[in-house]
Amino acid sequence: MIDGIVNSGAMPSLELAIGYAAARQKLLAHNIANLSTPDFVQRDVAPTTFQQFLRSAVQERRERAGTAGGMQGELRLGESREIEMGTNGLRLTPHEARGGVMFHDRNNRDLERLMQDMAENASAYRVAIDLMRSQTETLKTAISQRV
């Protein structure tokens, strides 16, 4: 019963989105921390890749569920060069970030772009957390039989 509740609706999608945003935030923070390190190559994963895989997983769940409307069952996230589902959640394999200005120490830095990426990623994380909080509050209300 608990598995059915946890794997229904938007909860699995939100869980994956939160895991992705948390992992990417660590990656972006690492890039910022090494901004002045000579020969440091910034690495990143494309949010569009994750969005495409999440979209495919949701579509596959809908097709698998058939008449149930696709709102039940686990999400089976595919794999790519950058993203794979491991036993401990999502595992990111970042690629070399393009762009930035090549400095004399052979570091391609672009602080403004990094800060923008970090702010966008933090916003996506907050939205997913707020939606998950709303879902869990609804479940808590239903479990406690309050209206």
Q: What is the pLDDT of residue 93?
A: 84
pLDDT tens-digit readout, 6-23: 556 788 889 889 999 999
Band (99; pLDDT cuts 50, 70, 90): low
Report the predicted TM-score, pTM, of the whole model to 2 decimal places.
0.79
Per-residue pLDDT at 117 exceeds 90: yes
> Helix %, strand %, coil % for the chain, to 5?
55, 10, 30
Q: Residue 128 burial (CB < 10 Å; 0-12/13-18/19+)?
A: buried
Per-residue pLDDT at 108 exceeds 50: yes
Q: What is the pLDDT of residue 104?
A: 56
Structure token digits, residue 82: 């950058």
Q: What is the pLDDT of residue 133?
A: 93
**What 3-state DSSP class applies to 144?**
coil
pLDDT tens-digit readout, 38-76: 888 888 898 988 888 888 888 888 887 665 555 666 777
Structure token digits, residue 143: 């479990």
Q: What is the pLDDT of residue 112?
A: 84
Q: Which residue has the higher pLDDT, 130 or 46?
A: 130
pLDDT tens-digit readout, 69-98: 556 667 777 777 888 877 777 788 887 876
